[in-house]
Structure 1
Amino acid sequence: MASHLYLSLTDLLLLRQEAQLNRMAAAQEATTELLKESLETLVQVRDSLKALGSKAEGRTPESVVCVSPFTQVGGSCLLLALDELHTWQSARQFCAGYGADLAHFSDVNTFAAILEYIKTISIFYNLSKNVNIWIGESDEAVEGTWVWVTGELMPRGAPFWGTRDGNLPEPADDRRQNCVVLWKRDQYYLHELPCTHEAAPLCQI
């Protein structure tokens, strides 16, 4: 009888411990999600404050001075090296040689300015072949969380991301594809590709 009671108490203690562990796991998951949402909110606030700061200081795209071979585009200095083909990491190293990194953007106007710049350079090069262009975005750290090389989060969907077969929206969140190109065959909208793909670097200072 005492042995039976002892086993029952043991089972009860184990059940209580299991329930407590389940509650702790659920709380940890909720905390992680809350932290992720807080990070996204802070990034948005930071970007808004940066934009307001630029306006307050009177900085405009026209006031940015770029040194050759860089060109002023949308308030930044860009270099598109269409005659260079690199993996994503190698493209970053190429840009680093100029004191730059792969390009990033956070608003539609800058994206439109970059697309116009690419179109101009492509005409100059008389480019007919399909050369994709690396930009500084990946989800290598956390699958499905797309982050610029600056640490800023990149939103999904229109107007930046393109579509693939069947008009399915990019990114596909394929674990084998963790880096982002401007995809020539889709009018240079964003597509995810393996980081070992070779594409032209778009550098930004």
Structure 2
Amino acid sequence: MTKLMLMAFLSVMICPYSESRDEGEEPVLPPLHLNCTQAYLGRMFSTEEATTQLLKEAVETLVQVRDTLNEVNTKIRGSTDMKPDGAACQPPFTQVGELCLLLALQEQHTWVAARQFCAGYGADLAHFSDANTFAAVLGYVNTINFQRKNINIWIGGTDEAVEDTWLWVTGELMPRGPPFWGTADGYALQPNAGTSQNCAVLWKADYYYMHDLPCTHKCAPLCQK
């Protein structure tokens, strides 16, 4: 407001004046020219209105950007509870990376019976093909087995159809070597038991690295949806 008053004063000072004065008479202040003052004031108020409108539009744009970012963040947070296909992991399953897993430590089944147990939940034995997912699975297993019970865990891998051709229950080739498979006696790389051991297990004594076992052993099922 002070700035407007100063500008008005300056506009008055530079406005031409048309009032006549007696010759030789020194004016104290130049007389006001009404039309000139009104014109300058009109321009100033028009400029202020335009600036106010621009600020209003800028604020509205920022509000829209804020609302859009909030919506995106909400969707991102919500996606952490969803499988990639959009189906939520419902209890008793838990989201583990991109997998929905259920480890039933209280259950002890043969490999075939473990698959049947998982099928009762609309699932199958767990499978994975990259080291990051395997690490996430191991983290989940150790979280569930916080009491460190000596329980081995079935996963969905077998070479029963063709010896030493290890396949997941999905028909995909299983990864071989470290960091997936463990060792026996500290040096013999798993799997190593030939036709006598055709099913894959997370072996507790080897920190849950993969081993081959006879499919008739009884272990806890790790189910995946």
Q: TM-score, normalised by structure 2?
A: 0.62
Q: Deviations over 1:128-177 (max 9, x none)?
A: 3x100000000000000000000000121011000002411001042110
Q: 1:22-171 residue pairs with structure 2 within 5 A? A: 62-64=81-83, 65-123=88-146, 126-128=147-149, 130-171=150-191
Specify which structure has the higher proportion of helix.
1
* Amino acid corresponding to residue 174 of structure 2 in structure 1: M
Q: Deviations over 1:170-191 (max 9, x none)?
A: 0104211000100001000000
Q: Unpaired segments of 5 or more residues in structure 1?
A: 1-57
SS state at 2:132 partner: helix
Q: CA deviation at 1:203?
A: 0.1
Q: Unpaired segments of 5 or more residues in structure 2?
A: 1-75
8 Å CA contact retained: 1:102, 1:203: yes
8 Å CA contact retained: 2:181, 2:189: yes
* Amino acid corresponding to residue 202 of structure 2 in structure 1: L
* Amino acid corresponding to residue 107 of structure 1 in structure 2: D
8 Å CA contact retained: 2:160, 2:198: yes
Give the match for residue 205 of structure 2.
185
Stretches of 4+ aligned residues off by more than 4 angstroms: none
* Amino acid corresponding to residue 116 of structure 2 in structure 1: Q
Give the match for residue 221 of structure 2.
201
Q: TM-score, normalised by structure 1?
A: 0.67
Cα distance in structure 2, aligned partners of 1:89 and 1:150: 15
8 Å CA contact retained: 2:105, 2:221: yes
Cα distance in structure 1, aligned partners of 2:80 and 2:176: 26
8 Å CA contact retained: 1:102, 1:201: yes
SS state at 2:194 partner: coil
Bigger RCO of structures 1 and 2 (CA < 8 A, at least 6 apart) = 1
Q: CA deviation at 1:63?
A: 3.5
Aligned length: 144
Identity value in percent: 66
Name the larger-Rg structure: 2
